[in-house]
Amino acid sequence: MSATTMQSAAVALPPPSGFVKRFMRNRTAMISLIILLLITLVAIFAPYLAPHDPAKSSLRAIMKPPNATYLLGSDDLGRDVLSRLIFASRLSLIASVQAVVIALGLGLPLGLIAGYLGGWVDMVIMRLNDALMSFPALILAVVIVGMVGPSLTNAMTAIGLVYAPRVMRVVRGSTLSVRQEVYINAARATGCSDARIITRHVLPNVTGPLVVQATVLMGQALLAEAGLSFLGLGVQPPEASWGSILGAAFPFMQRSPVPTIAAGLVISITVLCFNLVGDGIRDSVGRMRRAGD
């Protein structure tokens, strides 16, 4: 590849420092990122932060309102709600990461192949993609989990399969816009194989939209996991996620609303922060591209 072509490619990919500066100027995205980091730290240090054993029940503490001992009250089995929420953050975050990894593992290579090769390969892959996307995501996940059995692993695998077509569509669209660039044609002219062009030249240029999609999917996967666990199709007792805590507390909402409200707020705030961080990354990448132009 010539020096001129390499320079044009360098202009198309602004330095990471510019992205960081633009992202840090977005106060909403930065606050959301800080909240997500704090939630992650809470999950990591859960054994040191939880005031009580999340699995320990007490007949004397059943459905207690918030007090000095139980800051968010206790559930129908006399377990501390705050401790359970702290420990449940581990499973909820891990489950979201698992679903997104599965979605990226399936959608990324298929999107790259469809966008780069085009023709009948693109047509076959995208028709299958359109067929999967025609079903409501959560309904399709419920069907898959119902077929293979309720568990956290099965639930996250189902969610990852359902979200893979979304990743595939984003990657394909980005690949279509990149494959006609000058440096791609120059790489072909120098005899580079398709596999080398895809991995060395196309993939780095679709990373921006892919990171945005992955960040948004983290929130959507967490919300989907909460919905499946609420229905009893995700996390199984004695383990707990935010969704299962919400599902267990919901029947007693009129008698003790705090556990339901607390679990719902934690889920809502975390999902909102993921979406806002994704928006911040998207805006920062977009400004970098306009600056590069």
Please, which pLDDT band fits residue 30 given cuts at 50, 70 and 90? very high
- Give the model's confidence band at 6: pLDDT under 50 very low, under 70 low, under 90 confident, else very high: very low
Q: What is the pLDDT of residues 252-280, one digit of tens each?
A: 888 889 999 999 999 999 999 999 999 88
Backbone angles phi, psi at 80, to 5 degrees: -70, 120
Do 156 and 225 meet the contact criterion of CB atoms below 8 Å apart? yes
Average pLDDT over all residues of the chain: 84
Q: Closest Cα partner for 110 from 159, 194, 170?
A: 170
Both tokens of 277, joined, read 């961080």
Q: Which of 30-44, 72-86, 106-120, 140-154 has the highest mean pLDDT?
A: 30-44
Give DSSP secondary structure letters for 210-244: HHHHHHHHHHHHHHHHHHHHHTTSSS-TT---HHH
Residue 200: Cβ-neighbour burial (10 angstroms; 0-12, 13-18, 19+): exposed
Paired residues of 74 in beta bridges: 80
3-state secondary structure of 149: coil
- Which tokens hold the place of 190? 């120098």
219: its two tokens? 């929130």
Q: Which pLDDT score, from 0 to 100, does residue 16 have?
A: 57
Domains defined for the chain, CATH in brackets: 89-267 (1.10.3720.10)
Burial class (CB in 10 A: 0-12, 13-18, 19+), 8: middle
Question: Residue 86 pLDDT more than 90?
Answer: yes
pTM of the model: 0.84
Q: Give the C-alpha separation, 206 to 42, whole Å.
A: 32
- Residue 258's SS3 state is helix
